[in-house]
């Protein structure tokens, strides 16, 4: 596993973004782990998060694209932080863009924030975590309405590696349905590999009990 992935896993634990216990996802599944990117709350945390996203995007898609699109609302700070990191560490000036939930009819009109999207633009979508692919279904019509774009793919922070609408993972379903590549900074398999029965800051984050609960969860909801 690459060093930046190890660092990102520990970063999520430090920020209390990655938690283990008893939770319920938006789709109603009872899960022993939860990823809540709303716990990135400081400028320093967002700066580091942008760096990890930038590395994952560079590794998967390269940096020969024009716009990083972050769906409202969580995608807005993600797109801003990551384009800043790409500028700082890779010397590439990528435009950021997000959508509004409601169309604005005065001032800076329209549904988009940040850069407009134009014919011929190469676009990467950035999100927090995709479980059922609902957000991407809402995002695609918005992007297609902007013109003839080249959609390179989708990047998320964590691949939960569980079923989406069918038997495949949400990311695999997105690839199959929309014909775009997907990637994540880390997968839950990598999280387990790095944390299971290994002390971090003097504590075992994933012990035998949590690991057993995760195994049971994946037997029920794991993707093919």
Q: Is 201 annotated as a binding residue?
A: no
Q: Confirm whether residue 13 is marked as ligand binding.
A: no
Largest CA distance in the chain: 57
134 is known to lie in a ligand binding site: yes
**In angstroms, rounded to a whole number, what is the distance separating the alpha carbons of residues 127 and 79?**
9
- Please tell me whether 129 is known to bind a ligand: yes
**Tokens standing for residue 55:** 């590395």
The full length of the chain comes to 224
Tell me which residues are annotated as active site. Answer: 104, 106
Cβ proximity of 127 and 71 under 8 Å: yes
Residue 109 is assigned to a ligand binding site: no
At 86, give phi and psi (nearest 5°).
Answer: -65, -40
3-state SS class at 105: coil
> Among 93, 214, 65, which Cα is nearest to 205's?
214
Q: Is 219 annotated among the ligand-binding residues?
A: no
Known binding residue 100? Answer is yes
Q: Is 5 labelled a binding residue? A: no
Tell whether 131 is in a known binding site.
yes
Q: Is 10 annotated as a binding residue?
A: no
Can you state the angle between helices 134-144 and 170-178, rounded to 10 degrees?
30
- Helix then strand count (H, E) for the chain reads 7, 10
Q: Which residues line the annotated binding site for 5-phospho-alpha-D-ribose 1-diphosphate?
A: 26, 73-74, 100-101, 104, 106, 127-135
Q: Which residues line the annotated binding site?
A: 26, 73-74, 100-101, 104, 106, 127-135, 160
Q: Which residues line the annotated binding site for orotate?
A: 131, 160
């Amino acid at each position: 596993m690459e060093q930046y992935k190890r660092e990102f896993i520990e970063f999520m634990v430090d920020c209390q973004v990655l938690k283990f216990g008893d939770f319920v996802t938006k789709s109603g599944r009872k899960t022993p782990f939860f990823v809540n990117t709303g716990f990135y709350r400081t400028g320093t945390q967002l700066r580091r998060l942008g760096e990890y996203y930038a590395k994952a995007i560079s590794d998967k898609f390269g940096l020969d694209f024009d716009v990083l699109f972050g769906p409202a609302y969580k995608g807005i700070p993600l797109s801003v932080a990551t384009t800043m990191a790409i500028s700082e560490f890779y010397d590439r000036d990528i435009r950021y863009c997000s959508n509004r939930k409601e169309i604005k009819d005065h001032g800076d009109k329209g549904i988009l924030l940040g850069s407009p999207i134009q014919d011929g633009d190469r676009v990467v979508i950035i999100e927090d975590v995709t479980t059922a692919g609902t957000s991407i279904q809402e995002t695609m019509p918005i992007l297609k309405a902007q013109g003839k774009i080249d959609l390179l793919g989708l990047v998320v922070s964590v691949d939960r590696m569980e079923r989406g609408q069918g038997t495949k993972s949400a990311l695999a379903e997105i690839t199959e349905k929309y014909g775009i590549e997907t990637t994540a900074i880390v997968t839950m398999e990598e999280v387990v590999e790095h944390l299971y029965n290994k002390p971090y800051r003097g504590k075992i984050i994933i012990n035998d009990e949590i690991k057993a609960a995760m195994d049971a969860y994946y037997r029920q909801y794991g993707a093919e």
